[in-house]
A = this chain, B = another copy of it.
Amino acid sequence: MDYKSYFRPTVDAMGGYTPGEQPKVLDLIKLNTNENPYPPSPRVEEVLRDFDTAKLRLYPEPTADSLRDVIASVNGVQRENVIVGNGSDDILTIIVRCFCDAKRKMACIDPTYSLYPVLGELQGAECVRIELDDDFSLPDDILEQAAVANLLMFARPNAPTGNLFPRERVEEICAHFRGIVFIDEAYVDFSENNCLDLAMRYPNVIVSRTMSKSYALAGVRLGYAVANAKIIDGMMKMKDSYNVNMLTQRIAIEAFKDGEYLRRMVDKIISTRNRIAAALKELGFTMVPSSTNFLFVSPPDGNGRLYFEELRKHNIIVRYFPGKKTGDYARISIGTDAEMDRVMEVTRSIYGAK
């Protein structure tokens, strides 16, 4: 069959985003995509057991009002300040499509969630990359560098580095940037503070969250964004009408209501994280202080790729990000205590003798 390309040239030219591997082999320790090692709230099981499947013949609530009310209540905002998405990836796509195009650039820090510039490419919007300082902190001239863009995106806590930019610095950026400031709080439940109030106080600030990490619900796809009502209204026009399916809406409502379970699981993960961080430091690892459910660590010889590959040989999958600064590191999601003990055992066998 003859083939000429019908695609927009930008689609042909790009490679696409590569998500972390979802291996099908069973006895691997999977610490590569920052999933929660514990199951979601027991209420999720109840939802599935009790769900009336006959209802699935109907479309879900297009504006997901019941779910948005619960999210609003958990966060002390109003329904009109909340939009839900098919995972926070959906929220990110909506944002880039709302605020960027061939004339309206985006800016993002580097490194950060590597999907952002891919979304810019897909939208045909130029992406200004703003390099972080050597310790992965925000550069002093971030506002000057971002000034050409209509959208500035970063994660806080940042990924894959795990550090938390100072709140005052972020507020300063919100107050002075002339476009939209998007703060991705995917990992915020593992950190000391958040920026939700900035989304309510500044007309140009959007904060997003996800159930994929702290809530252990990556499989159901639920992300949300909080901003002032005018921003949310515009974003609602861009989303697919029924972007969040009926089961996910129901599951999310119950999981959000179980704040006690969330807190317990998060505390457990933070405690494991801190224990492993200390153990790795003892072996001579350096690392970025983590406010997340992962550690971004550099082995004693500074060879992140080698560490990644050695763990892989022992059936432990972590994530490696090639790059000038990131290449010295490997990113390890925090698993169960047993999984992390195995990581330490293998790590000691590699670096312990040195």
Contacts and interface: CB of A to CB of B under 8 A. Distances in A.
B3 A203 contact: yes
A179 interface: yes
A163 interface: no
A56 B245 contact: no
Interface stretch (A83-91, A129-137, A165-173, A341-349): A83-91
A101 B124 contact: yes
Contact of A22 (B8, B36, B62): B62
B37 A104 contact: no
Contacts of A44: 53, 56
A237 interface: yes
Interface stretch (A154-162, A183-191, A215-223, A297-305): A215-223
Interface in A189-230: 201-204, 212, 216-221, 228, 230
Contact of A39 (B37, B57, B217): B57
A278 interface: no
Interface string A39-52: 11000110011010
A150 interface: yes
Nearest to A48: B48
A104 B8 contact: yes
A276 interface: no
A60 B219 contact: yes
B22 A58 contact: yes
A283 interface: no
Given A57-B218, A59-B218, A236-B16, A241 B6 contact: no
A21 to B, nearest CB: 9
A260 to B, nearest CB: 18
A110 interface: no
Contacts of A236: 16
Interface in A11-51: 11-12, 14-17, 19-20, 22, 30, 33, 35-40, 44-45, 48-49, 51
Contacts of A30: 58
Interface in A331-350: none
Interface stretch (A70-78, A92-100, A320-328): A92-100
B217 A56 contact: yes
A40 B57 contact: yes
A60 to B, nearest CB: 5
A245 B228 contact: no
B60 A221 contact: yes
A1 B228 contact: yes
A221 B122 CA distance: 23
Given A102-B102, A122-B238, 4 more contacts: A22-B60, A30-B58, A40-B56, A57-B218
Interface of A: 1-8, 11-12, 14-17, 19-20, 22, 30, 33, 35-40, 44-45, 48-49, 51, 53-62, 86-87, 89-90, 93, 97-102, 104, 115, 122, 124, 150-151, 179-180, 201-204, 212, 216-221, 228, 230-231, 234, 236-238, 240-243, 245-248, 251
